[in-house]
């Protein structure tokens, strides 16, 4: 039987292969469909369910429970995909079991969380987004795919597209912040970067847009907690990045852990079928998150796991990650007539199609190649890109009296803080196969830049998160004898990411006390932040001379930070998320509504008694070592018709004395709508470079689609009426004009 199957497959492969590879994207053509069907015809129900089952190996731990029999399941043909297994050698070994020991020899699909690099680690995704550089983001995904596929992987569980307005939620580190438009742009760049235009190429992999949907809106910022938002908010704020990923051809979608409208996302027919398949025409496959079918039982939505499986498959799930619910119950449910085998066939076809597209039936070992692994991973080019990408992700939050850049001839630096000489945290959470012992510390980076020219007086001063103050004395001593203090503070890498919510988002431990004591010395004090979320920084902002937000910068962290501290690179990052003044302001986001009582100095208006409404640093904010001037906005017309376009331009001038890059941002506000509209919404941006004194005109073109939103009937429509249009350097620092949209 096995020989017969292989013959059929090979026949098809030989006849169709070349033509397929020339095709764009992965969309199924008739011949692939035929090959899939002929294989499906040979499969038993058990073998089909195997293809719908994904188990973790024991190489990495990314969830609450493991199963020890994944190897036996591979040998029995009862699992079609494995995650948390990589390296050419290990994937080849497991693949051999599937291909040589099972009846049909169907190759395994290997998935992994390749989120911000595979071996060469880039900044955490929040930092990547702060570059506002979609070309670079795409390139980072391309490099990640190249490294990951060389280690036997076919499928990444990325990009993570969960818009969030809550920095208490640890997974804010893994996404692109608070804005649907910006996150949608990142979605497109990342899907293109991972998948390229040929899934059959050896250096591309399946992307997985996750977690559908609204996982970024848990109550009180606590991970996995209930989500309760309106469908309008879902469609306007949380779904656009997923829609963009589907439009871009994302091969797979992952469900979310949370409930929405009282239904766990993994059991939501609305999300997984009505919207994803029927509205968006998605034709890849849907995988659950880790045991999220089983979790429908504690959610209180399914009576038991068997019932949960039935709900999941009927909602639109194709593959069960780690829960073994399909594995344990689906065959019985078919016998009992609870589940129609045709639904199983449809899911299996979607999954097998991807295996064909990847070329696994040509050669199941093609990705598990030790030679490619040795030559393509952590190359000099990849590290050079990582360094440039990292420095582009940094956001200069404050720079009083041009404290930065530091002069080349600075005599001595007091380098203080728990992150000044730390390697472990630099690669952040979800760092795939990244090896932190290869990462460059800040201390090393400054040493690499300055050699013996500058004395580095290092003191740890404090730990990240305890109350040990015994290092303060030494820190103050080295600070007193140095020209400038560089204080590197922040969070542990695992204080953000999954299951890492914080109720207090100030600097952990006694780091801020250490800062206060250093401030009293009256020396120039530069704070370098490493953290996975916005922190509350009012005191730091009031008292530091300069603040550089570096997120978790990845493998080349220290060199990249030194590039910026000494001005080899002029910072150009902008915040993809608002930084609150106080945790009590959360959720705080720039694209909020106006309310019926917008804030004035009078009592009965929408405000706090103790904190301003505004953030400390707004969305889109970030300084440069140079300055930019914005002209007034020019519109090509003041009235735009529904089928017309509107062109808006500004001239941006570099008014300083060094080259710099600026992210020019365009926002709109519709003044009156059939439902109330946000006070600002990002609708475009351009990153431009300008030499000293240089000016550039920046043009944006809007169509009705840029002005449209999901209305109360869930229809995506633009409505005639008056608009404000803003262009500027952040969501707050803008020029403003108006126009009207007519029928």
Specify whether the CB–CB gap between 151 and 377 falls below 8 A.
Answer: yes
Shortest Å distance, C-beta 506 to ligand BGC: 26
Q: How far apart are CA 372 and CA 466, in angstroms?
A: 44
Specify whether the CB–CB gap between 329 and 359 falls below 8 A.
Answer: no
Question: Rounded to 5 degrees, what are φ and ψ at 721?
Answer: 155, -175
Q: How far apart are CA 85 and CA 153, in angstroms?
A: 8
Q: Is 289 in the site for ligand BGC (CB under 6 A)?
A: yes
Name the DSSP letter for residue 82: E
Query: Of residues 157, 326, 619, 700, which one binds ligand BGC by CB under 6 A?
Result: 157
Cβ-based nearer residue to ligand BGC, 63 or 721: 63
Which residues from 109-148 bind ligand BGC, rule CB under 6 A?
113
- How many chain residues touch ligand BGC (CB under 6 A)? 8
Shortest Å distance, C-beta 680 to ligand BGC: 31
Cβ-based nearer residue to ligand BGC, 113 or 133: 113
Q: Is 47 in the site for ligand BGC (CB under 6 A)?
A: no
Q: Is the peptide bond before 100 cis (omega within 30 degrees of 0)?
A: no
Name the DSSP letter for residue 237: I
**HSE, side-chain direction, 13 A CA sphere, residue 262:** 0
Q: Report the chain's terminal Cα–Cα distance, integer Å.
A: 65
Shortest Å distance, C-beta 127 to ligand BGC: 18
Q: How far apart are CA 85 and CA 419, in angstroms?
A: 31
Query: Of residues 155, 290, 361, 552, which one binds ligand BGC by CB under 6 A?
Result: 290
> Which pair of tokens denotes residue 551?
């997120």
For β-strands 660-670 and 681-690, DSSP reports them as antiparallel
Query: Of residues 62, 403, 463, 543, which one binds ligand BGC by CB under 6 A?
Result: 62
Q: How far apart are CA 406 and CA 399, in angstroms?
A: 11
Query: Of residues 38, 45, 59, 63, which one binds ligand BGC by CB under 6 A?
Result: 63
Name the DSSP letter for residue 188: H
Name the DSSP letter for residue 276: I
Characterise 401 by phi-psi region: left (phi > 0), alpha (psi -120 to 50), beta (else): left
Cβ-based nearer residue to ligand BGC, 498 or 662: 498
Return the H-helix or E-strand segment holding 179.
Answer: none
Q: Is 154 in the site for ligand BGC (CB under 6 A)?
A: no
Cβ-based nearer residue to ligand BGC, 210 or 460: 210
Cβ-based nearer residue to ligand BGC, 20 or 289: 289
Shortest Å distance, C-beta 62 to ligand BGC: 3
Query: Of residues 210, 502, 533, 683, which one binds ligand BGC by CB under 6 A?
Result: 210
* 124 alpha-carbon distance from chain centroid: 8
Q: How far apart are CA 572 and CA 131, in angstroms?
A: 7
Cβ-based nearer residue to ligand BGC, 215 or 704: 215
Q: How far apart are CA 722 and CA 323, in angstroms?
A: 52
Shortest Å distance, C-beta 290 to ligand BGC: 4
Shortest Å distance, C-beta 321 to ligand BGC: 7
Active site residue 289: yes
Q: Is 614 in the site for ligand BGC (CB under 6 A)?
A: no
Cβ-based nearer residue to ligand BGC, 257 or 566: 257
Shortest Å distance, C-beta 194 to ligand BGC: 14
Which residues from 319-358 bind ligand BGC, rule CB under 6 A?
none
Q: Is 494 in the site for ligand BGC (CB under 6 A)?
A: no
Q: Is 498 in the site for ligand BGC (CB under 6 A)?
A: yes
Dihedral over Cα of 101, 104, 105, 106: its sign: negative
Q: Is 67 in the site for ligand BGC (CB under 6 A)?
A: no
Cβ-based nearer residue to ligand BGC, 198 or 289: 289
Listing DSSP states for 421-439 in one string gives: S-SGGGG-SS-TT--GGGS
Specify whether the CB–CB gap between 189 and 146 falls below 8 A.
Answer: no
Own/partner contacts of 471-475, CB < 8 Å, gap of 24 or more, are 471/514, 472/513, 472/514, 472/517, 475/414, 475/416, 475/514, 475/517, 475/518
Beta partners for 81? 54, 109
Angle between helices 30-42 and 2-22 (to 10 degrees): 170
Shortest Å distance, C-beta 55 to ligand BGC: 11
Specify whether the CB–CB gap between 172 and 129 falls below 8 A.
Answer: no
Question: In this chain, which residue has its C-beta nearest to ligand BGC?
Answer: 62
Shortest Å distance, C-beta 182 to ligand BGC: 20
Which residues from 698-717 bind ligand BGC, rule CB under 6 A?
none
> Which pair of tokens denotes residue 327?
């594995």
Cβ-based nearer residue to ligand BGC, 216 or 309: 216
Cβ-based nearer residue to ligand BGC, 75 or 225: 225
Which residues from 75-114 bind ligand BGC, rule CB under 6 A?
113
Shortest Å distance, C-beta 291 to ligand BGC: 8
Q: Which of 179, 198, 289, 369 is catalytic?
A: 289
Angle between helices 472-480 and 511-519 (to 10 degrees): 30
Which residues from 291-320 bind ligand BGC, rule CB under 6 A?
none
* Residues engaged in binding ligand BGC (CB under 6 A): 62-63, 113, 157, 210, 289-290, 498
Residues designated as active site? 289
């Amino acid at each position: 039987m096995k020989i017969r199957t292989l013959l059929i497959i090979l026949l098809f492969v030989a006849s169709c292969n070349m033509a397929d590879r020339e095709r764009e994207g992965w969309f199924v053509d008739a011949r692939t469909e035929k090959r899939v069907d002929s294989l499906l015809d040979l499969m038993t129900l058990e073998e089909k369910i195997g293809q719908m089952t994904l188990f973790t190996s024991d190489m990495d731990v990314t969830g609450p429970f493991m199963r020890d029999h994944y190897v036996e399941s591979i040998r029995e043909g009862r699992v079609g995909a494995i995650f948390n297994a990589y390296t050419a050698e290990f994937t080849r070994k497991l693949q051999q079991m599937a291909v040589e020991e099972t009846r049909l020899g169907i190759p395994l699909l290997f998935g992994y969380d390749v989120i911000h690099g595979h071996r060469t680690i880039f900044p955490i995704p929040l930092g990547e987004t702060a570059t506002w550089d979609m070309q670079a983001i795409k390139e980072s995904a391309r490099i990640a795919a190249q490294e990951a596929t060389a280690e036997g992987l076919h499928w990444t569980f990325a990009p993570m597209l969960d818009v969030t307005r809550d920095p208490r939620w640890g997974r804010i580190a893994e996404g692109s912040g608070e804005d649907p438009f910006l996150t949608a742009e990142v979605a497109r760049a990342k899907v293109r970067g991972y998948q390229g235009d040929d899934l059959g190429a050896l250096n591309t992999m399946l992307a997985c847009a996750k977690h559908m949907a609204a996982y970024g809106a848990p109550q009180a910022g606590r991970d996995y907690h209930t989500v309760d938002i309106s469908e309008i908010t879902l469609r306007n704020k949380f779904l656009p990045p997923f829609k963009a990923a589907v439009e871009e051809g994302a091969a797979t979608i992952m469900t979310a852990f949370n409930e929405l409208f009282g239904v766990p996302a993994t059991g939501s027919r609305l999300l997984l079928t009505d919207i994803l398949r029927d509205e968006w025409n998605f034709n890849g496959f849907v995988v659950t998150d880790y045991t999220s079918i089983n979790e429908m039982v504690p959610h209180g939505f399914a009576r038991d796991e068997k019932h949960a499986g039935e709900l999941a498959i009927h909602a639109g799930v194709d593959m069960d990650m780690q829960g073994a619910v399909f594995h344990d119950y689906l065959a019985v449910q078919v016998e009992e007539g609870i589940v129609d085998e045709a639904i199983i066939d449809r899911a299996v076809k979607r999954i097998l199609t991807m295996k064909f597209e990847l070329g696994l039936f040509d050669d199941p070992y093609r990705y598990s190649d030790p030679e490619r692994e040795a030559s393509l991973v952590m190359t000099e080019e990849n590290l050079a890109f990582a360094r440039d990408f990292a420095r582009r992700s940094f956001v200069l939050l404050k720079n009083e009296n041009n404290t930065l850049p530091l002069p080349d001839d600075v005599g001595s630096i007091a380098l203080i803080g728990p992150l000044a000489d730390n390697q472990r945290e630099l690669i952040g959470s979800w760092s795939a196969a990244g090896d932190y012992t290869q990462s460059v510390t800040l201390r090393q980076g400054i040493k690499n830049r300055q050699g013996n020219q500058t004395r580095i007086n290092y003191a740890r001063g404090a730990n990240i998160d305890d109350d040990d103050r015994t290092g303060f004395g030494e820190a103050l001593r080295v600070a007193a004898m140095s020209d400038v203090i560089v204080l590197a503070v922040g969070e542990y890498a695992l204080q953000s990411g999954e299951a890492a919510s914080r109720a207090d988002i100030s600097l952990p431990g006694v780091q801020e006390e250490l800062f206060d004591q250093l401030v009293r010395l009256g020396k120039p004090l530069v704070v370098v932040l490493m953290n996975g979320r916005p922190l509350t920084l009012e005191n730091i902002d009031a008292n530091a001379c300069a603040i550089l937000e570096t997120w978790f910068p990845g493998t080349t962290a220290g060199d990249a930070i030194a590039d910026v501290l000494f001005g080899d690179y002029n910072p150009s990052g902008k915040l993809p998320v608002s930084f609150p003044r106080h945790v009590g302001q959360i959720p705080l986001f720039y694209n909020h509504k106006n309310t019926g009582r917008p804030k004035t100095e009078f009592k009965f208006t929408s405000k706090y008694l103790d904190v301003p409404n505004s953030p400390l640093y707004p969305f889109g904010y970030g300084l440069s070592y140079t300055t930019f001037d914005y002209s007034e906005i020019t519109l090509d017309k003041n009235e735009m018709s529904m089928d017309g376009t509107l062109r808006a331009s500004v001239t941006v001038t570099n008014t300083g004395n060094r080259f710099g890059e600026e992210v020019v941002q365009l926002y709109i506000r519709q003044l009156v709508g059939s439902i109330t509209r946000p006070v600002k919404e990002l609708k475009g941006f351009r990153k431009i470079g300008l030499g000293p004194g240089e000016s550039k005109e920046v043009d944006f073109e809007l169509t009705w689609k840029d002005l449209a939103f999901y209305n109360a009937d869930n229809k995506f429509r633009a409505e005639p009426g008056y608009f404000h249009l803003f262009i500027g350097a952040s969501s707050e620092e803008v020029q403003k004009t108006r126009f009207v949209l007519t029928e």
